[in-house]
Amino acid sequence: MRDDPVINSPVSVKGIGVRHGQILLQFLFYIIVFGIEISLSSTLSAMLVTDKKFENTPISTVSQMMCSYMFGFVITELFGAVLCKRYGFKWPMVLLMIIISAVTLNLPTLTDEYGAHGIIACRAVQGLCIGLLFSMPAEVISRWVPIKERTMLGTTVYASGLLGEALALYAGGYLSGTRLNWTFVYTQLGYLAIIWVVLMAIFGADSPEQYQRKISGSELDYIVHNRGNVTIKKKMRIPWRKILTSMPFWAIVVAQIGAGWILFVLTVNIPQYMAYNYMVPMTQNTIVVVNLITWVLSFSIAGIAQLLINEGRTTIEQSRKLFNTLGSCIPAFFFILLGLVTQGNQYAGMAIWVTISVTSVGTICGSKLNSNDITTNFAPVVYGIATWISLVFNMITLTILTMNYNLDDWNVILIFSALVAILTNLFYVKFGSGEEQEWNLYEDLEDEEIDLSKSTSRASVDEGKYLLYVRKQ
């Protein structure tokens, strides 16, 4: 810990700093991870057409190839936050990404050797590892990003998945038609993962206080005094009961259910609907264009949200609820509109598709980043549970819908999606909070007499006791 006394929060540090380098690492991490996730979708057609091992492959096997990643992801996502709180995020991310890179590089070889079963095994391992890693960037945001920059830099990290998907889709479609063929996609993703591992091992750090390379004193003070109450010690006990009985936590969970369902409809149903009713070509390149437009405009949305907070026009809570409402209700409006209108021209269809996609980014500036507001110490726990419940809800809901309706029964899907988006957002607006929760500084210190009023340095006392003392003043 630092040796200087606690003083008034320092002013913002201008220019690019070490914190931006840490965010860049997480930005690249999500690009690679989402690229790996979407890689099979971008290369599957080429596999089935050009590889004799896949001749007469039954639909059930193709389905297993597509689903194996997600099943692996669901199994481990809940455990990633626990791993992060026990060992930090740097070395778990490095070690698991080494496994992911090895599996990705060897996927073409195992496919050649074992066919579809090789792909299923590789995708399952990728899902298991990425599930453990998925919530760790939330810890990076808590420890490295000041509140004045949280919305902008946090959205930069989370929205990078759009860029990763776009690049993987384009590369898969383009390379599959060249002499390099589809195997080159996995080779490049594997090498990118290795490069990221090297960069993370050299430049990554679990916190500014533990950064081993050069960081200016002004930037260190700026981060530490403006990120909220963060305890940097490892092996913190997670207050499960307090978290699971917290309404702001459940507000985030419910909001993420709505955001997750919007994303599902946006990626699965809307492209098909636009192709059938608006004559928008449903090609990989069209999806790439929509993703790139959404990614670029996400910076504008995040910038506006951050500006409103920094200028005092909205509180953090008001900003989160405002932008989550925009990210939920505008897509809901267009879902209802599409359900009522049977057809239209290509340009109107493309405009509606882009509008839904861009405005849905509001849920990132809203409920997704809200986990870092209510708890800086257990943000990956809240984020991990919320995204896991959202994913499981969407999988169960999809199963129920497909048992009773066809996915091209547009009115049912679109109206149901609008209701989910609106109702989950109403719950979030009612019970969400932008304030740090009391369990963020959870320690068994209630029965101890703590008198630190004469202490002049945070380094001279136990950090947990100091933070608890500060809260009681």
Torsion of CA 314, 316, 322, 328, to 10 degrees: 170
DSSP letters, 227-253, are S-S----SSPPP-HHHHHT-HHHHHHH
Kindly report, as residue ranges, where domains of CATH 1.20.1250.20 are found in the chain.
16-236, 240-442
pLDDT of residue 261: 94
pLDDT of residue 233: 66
pLDDT of residue 405: 65
pLDDT of residue 6: 38
Q: The tokens of 7 are what?
A: 């003083």
pLDDT of residue 453: 41
pLDDT of residue 459: 41
Query: What separation in angstroms does the CA of 3 have from each of 218, 455, 471?
Result: 14, 12, 20
Domain 240-442 has CATH 1.20.1250.20: yes
Q: Is 409 helix (H, G, I), strand (E, B) or coil?
A: coil
Task: Kindly give the parts of the chain with pLDDT less than 50.
Answer: 1-8, 444-473
pLDDT of residue 470: 44
pLDDT of residue 47: 83
pLDDT of residue 449: 39
Please tell me the CATH code under which domain 16-236 is placed.
Answer: 1.20.1250.20
Query: What separation in angstroms does the CA of 387 have from each of 85, 150, 236, 393, 447?
Result: 18, 19, 22, 10, 36
pLDDT of residue 442: 65
pLDDT of residue 454: 40
Q: Counting Cβ atoms within 10 Å, is residue 147 exposed (0-12), middle (13-18) or buried (19+)?
A: middle
